[in-house]
Each structure stands twice: as structure tokens, then as C-alpha cells.
Amino acid sequence: MPLRLRRKKKFNTKETSRLVEGEQTNAAGGSLPRLPAPTCRLAFHTQLAHGSATGRVENFSSIQELYAKIASVFEISPSEILYCTLNTPKVDMGKLLGAQIGLEDFIFAHVKGIKKEVNVYKSEDSLGLTITDNGAGYAFIKRIKDGSIVDSVKTICVGDHIEAINGETILGWRHFDVAKKLKELKKEELFTLKLIEPKKAFDMEPRSKAGKSSTGRIGTGRETLRLRSKGPATVEEVPSETKTKAIGKVDDLLELYMGIRDIDLATTMFEAGKDKGNPDEFAVALDETLGDFAFPDEFVFDVWGVIGDAK
């Protein structure tokens, strides 16, 4: 059963504050007061990826709340944070912070750096870009395909935040909306991207993770904190290898059919289909939860195949 973060109970008097439900009794029939069990406090260590002192964040349930906590620690605006990576200060898209954080993970926040404006000639239908977003309104480049149009423009880099396309700001857009906008650009025409690259450090020293003795840490290392858009964060067991591989395959299908990669979306799709008996039931479940995406039938069938293999 997942553990849920809860607030401490408040008591009206000193007498009642010592008592809890199910209290024991002594030989004379009187009650033996018990102290409330200590509340577990999840705390994570954090640094700015380009270099900073180490801070500590706790009591957050969503990406937005986490960014606000990090910003408060380093006295910056939350809007300065582009995204976070886990256990590395490098721009490593394989280490992006998503909806889950391991209880022993070290969080590195990548903040806004140099702004740049780039003109690109769309000579082919595909630009060779994979787009993702930070869950708080910033879309950025997750992957550039070798030999693609964008690969030939060396000023465009993995990790760059896309601020505007042809002068139209895309702040607040989800990654699939940005991918659609780029796909709809006319072929054989020039278009302009306004980008912001993450701030980089010169001669950056490697950083180690915090030791297991850090106060406030709990867990065995095989648990994660799952962030939610609504409701409290929960501590969950790490998914099985079979489930992890299946979700990765769904993510690959998202890129193949939809031109996006989103491990959280892939996880949602897997969870929607794991208890369904046939592809029709799965399609209905997708329409109910993710109907705005209008997934093609071929994609839904292939995803169902992946879920079926995982079962």
C-alpha cells in the first residue's frame, strides 16, 4: 500500500494531545497515554545545475510546488527554472525529473541562460525534433535526430527552451501542442525560433549525492515520491522491470506516431489499459481520460499489444 503524506493531528488541550485512538489500559483500569508516532518528513537536497551551495526542499506535491520551493531556497523566481535533472547537473534528457523522484535522489535545477534567435529553412516535412515540457509551462528540446534539418543548425541544442515560433509565444503550451505547431509549418519556407538555453558553468566540479544519514530521509532506496497535479504526493514502490520496459515501449510509440515523448503520458496509458480485457475496452478508457489527443486506431492497437505482452 502506498504511503501518503499527512498533516499532524491538532489537539485542543495538553491532556488530549497525549492520547490516541486504541490506547492501552493499566492493571487498575486506567488508561496509559501513548505519544503520537513521529511524522515522516521527506526532504531532498538540491543545487542549481550551473553551480551553487546545497539547499534542501520538502513539503511539496507537484512540479509547480517543487519549483517554488527550489526558487525560495536560492532566492530566484520560479519562472527562472527551466527543468530539473536527477543526480546529475548535466543536460541529460535521460535523467529529467518527471512525476516521480527516488527518495535518495539529488535534484539539480537548470535555470535560464543565454537567449538566442535562430532562422531555420524547412526543406523537409520532419524537422527531427522531439519536444517535451517541464509540467509548468515550458517546452524544450529533448532530442535531435542525427542528420535532420535541425541537426545541421548547430546553435540549436538539446535542452533549449522554445520561447516563441515565428514571433508567437508558446509559454504555457504542452509539448504536444508545440510539436503540432512545428509540424504544421509550411515546407520550403523559413521560420524563426526564439530559444533560451540553460545556464552553464565553466569548470564545473562533480557533485555527490547526499549520504543516507541525511535527516528527514526515509525509505529503502526502492521507493519513489510520486507527484500529482491534484491531491497529496504519495510514496510508492519502484515499478517492476516488466512494467518499466512496457511503459518505455509505449513512449517509443508516442514518438513514432505522435512525434512526442512523454513518460508520464505513457504511464497513464499503461495504467488505463492494464485491467482491460480487450482493445475496445482500452480504446474507450483512452477516450475517457485522454480524448483530446485523438489517437489514431493503429497507435491504440499497437499500445494494446505492448500492454498485452506485459501481462
Give a yes or no: residue 107 inside a domain.
Answer: yes
Give a yes or no: residue 234 inside a domain.
Answer: no
* Domain membership of residue 146 as a residue range: 43-198
Same domain, 116 and 186: yes
- Report how far Cα 254 is from the mean position of its chain's Cα atoms: 17
Same domain, 183 and 246: no
Structurally, the chain folds into a number of domains equal to 2
Same domain, 178 and 59: yes
Give a yes or no: residue 229 inside a domain.
Answer: no
CA distance 254 to 65: 28
Whole-model pTM over 0.75: no
Give a yes or no: residue 114 inside a domain.
Answer: yes
Give the model's pLDDT for residue 41.
65
The CB density around residue 217, as the number of other CB atoms within 10 Å, is: 18
Question: Residue 258 contacts by C-beta under 8 Å, 6 or more apart in sequence?
Answer: 176, 179, 293, 295, 299
Indicate the residue among 170, 198, 226 that finishes a domain: 198
159 with 198: CB under 8 angstroms?
yes
CA distance 85 to 145: 21
| Each residue's pLDDT tens digit, 253-310 | 888 887 777 777 888 888 888 888 888 888 888 888 777 777 888 888 899 988 888 8
Give the CATH number of the domain where residue 148 resides. 2.30.42.10
Same domain, 143 and 289: no
- The neighbouring-strand residues paired with 242 are none
Same domain, 180 and 51: yes
Same domain, 124 and 254: no
Same domain, 60 and 152: yes
> In the chain, which ranges are continuous DSSP H helix?
14-17, 63-74, 175-183, 241-258, 263-273, 279-290, 297-310
Low-confidence ranges of the chain (pLDDT < 70): 1-41, 202-239
Indicate the residue among 171, 198, 225 that finishes a domain: 198
Same domain, 180 and 299: no
Same domain, 53 and 179: yes
Give a yes or no: residue 192 inside a domain.
Answer: yes
CA distance 274 to 305: 11
143 with 165: CB under 8 angstroms?
no
Same domain, 181 and 108: yes
Give a yes or no: residue 261 inside a domain.
Answer: yes
Give a yes or no: residue 103 inside a domain.
Answer: yes
CA distance 12 to 16: 7
Nearest to 2 by CA among 217, 310, 264, 239: 239
Residue 51 zone, left/alpha/beta (φ > 0; ψ -120 to 50; rest): left
Indicate the residue among 139, 168, 198 that finishes a domain: 198
Same domain, 108 and 192: yes
Question: Residue 56 contacts by C-beta under 8 Å, 6 or more apart in sequence?
Answer: 43, 44, 45, 46, 73, 216
Give a yes or no: residue 206 inside a domain.
Answer: no
Query: Measuring CA to CA, how many Å separate 291 from each of 77, 253, 255, 299, 303?
Result: 35, 17, 18, 14, 15
What cell was used for 88? 546529475
Same domain, 182 and 65: yes
CA distance 204 to 25: 61
CA distance 209 to 85: 13
